[in-house]
Amino acid sequence: MAITAAITAVEGYLPDYVLTNQELSQMVDTNDEWITTRTGVKERRILKGADKGASVMGAEAVKRLCEKRGISPDEIDLLIAATVTGDYIFPATANIICDKVGAKKAWSFDINAACSGFIYALTTGAQFVQTGAHKKVVVVGVDKMSAIVDYTDRATCVIFGDGAGAVLLEPSTEGFGILDFKHQVDGSGRVHLYQKAGGSVKPPSIETVEKKEHYIYQEGQAVFKVAVKQMADVSAEMMVRNNLKPDDVAWLVPHQANKRIIEAVAHRMELPESKVMLNIHKYGNTTSGTIPLCLWEYQKQMKKGDNIILSAFGGGFTWGAIYVKWAYNS
C-alpha cells in the first residue's frame, strides 16, 4: 500500500494570562453581549513578558509533542512553523524553535498563509512523508496575535488571542493520515485584511507607527462574506470528492475565526453541532494555532479510523480543506 502521512501525536501550549470580555470592556467601548453574539469569544490567552515571541509557545508545544510520542527532538527530520507573528521578519521562527527544543538534525522553514497557515503547512509536511523522504515531520501552528493587535480598536482586539499547537507526521502503510487536500488563494483580497506597514512596501518609520499601520487592519464584513462562502464550498467539495456523506464524517475541525462562520460551514456540510470542534469561546482566533489546538483538546474523543475534515480561511485571501483519517485512539 502507498505511504500516507499519519498524525501520530498532537500537543498544544496556551499562555496563562486570560483576557476576558469583561476586562476588554474596560479598555474599549464594547461589552460581553456584543462580543459573544457577534463572534462567540468569551476569553482569550495572552503571552505576557518582555522578549517573549511566538517561538516560546511553539517550542513548548513541540517539547510536549516529543515527550508524548516518546521521541528525542533530534529524531525530527523537518519542522515547519505556520505563523504570521514570527519572532522576527527573518530568520524563520521554525529555526528558532528547532534550536530551543534541540532538534539538531532537522531542517526547517516558516509558512505564512495567515489563518490557513496550519493547513497549508500540514499539506506541505505530508508530501515529505508520502514520498518517503522523511520519517518524522513536525508541523507547528503558532501565533502571538497580541503583538499585532491594536488594543484601542474594538473591531479587532476582541477577536484574537495567542497560542500554539503541534502535530507529528509519520509514515503509515494502512491508509491513515492526510488523504486529500485542496488549497486556494485570491491575492486581490489582501486589501481587506493585512498589516499595512513593516514590510518592504512601507518599511517601519515614525510615521507608520504613529498611524498604527503595524497593527492588523481588517474590514470585517468584507472578510466575513468571502470566508463563509469559500470555507463552506471547499469543505463540501472535500466531502463530495471523497464520497463522504454527513454520517461518514466524524469531525469538522474549522479555523476558529467567528462562531457564525463555523455554524454556516457545518450547516452546508449537514453536520450536527456535536461533530464540530469548537474552542473559540476560550481562546478566540489564534490564527495558525486554532486547528491544532482543537485537535489537541478533542483528541480523547477521536477514534482510530475517524474521517475528519480540517477547514480554514484567512488573510491573503487563503483557504482550503484537508481530509484526514485519524490514526490512533488516545
Query: Among residues 139, 167, 252, 257, which is the contact residue for ligand UT7, using CB under 6 A?
Result: 257
What nine digits make up the cell of 29?
467601548
Smallest gap, in angstroms, from Cβ of residue 178 to ligand UT7?
Answer: 22
Out of 66, 115, 157, 294, pick the active-site residue.
Answer: 115
Query: Among residues 17, 20, 30, 212, which is the contact residue for ligand UT7, using CB under 6 A?
Result: 30
By the 10 Å C-beta count (0-12 exposed, 13-18 middle, 19+ buried), 286 is classed as buried
Q: Which of residues 153-212 bind ligand UT7 (CB under 6 A)?
A: 154-155, 158
Is 279 one of the annotated active-site residues of the chain? no
**220 contacts ligand UT7 (rule: CB under 6 A):** yes
Distances from the Cα of 53 to the Cαs of 90, 92, 162, in angstroms?
A: 13, 12, 10
Out of 255, 258, 279, 294, pick the active-site residue.
Answer: 255
Distances from the Cα of 20 to the Cαs of 23, 26, 245, 290, in angstroms?
A: 5, 10, 39, 18
Is 214 one of the annotated active-site residues of the chain? no
Is 255 one of the annotated active-site residues of the chain? yes
- What is the contact mask toward ligand UT7 in residues 298 to 317, using x (rule: CB under 6 A)? ---------------xx---
Q: Which of residues 96-135 bind ligand UT7 (CB under 6 A)?
A: 115
**286 contacts ligand UT7 (rule: CB under 6 A):** no
* Residue whose CB is less far from ligand UT7, 137 or 294: 294
Which residues of the chain form contacts with ligand UT7 (CB under 6 A)? 30, 34-35, 38-39, 115, 154-155, 158, 220-221, 223-224, 227, 257-258, 261, 285, 313-314
User: Could you give the residue numbers annotated as active site?
Assistant: 115, 255, 285
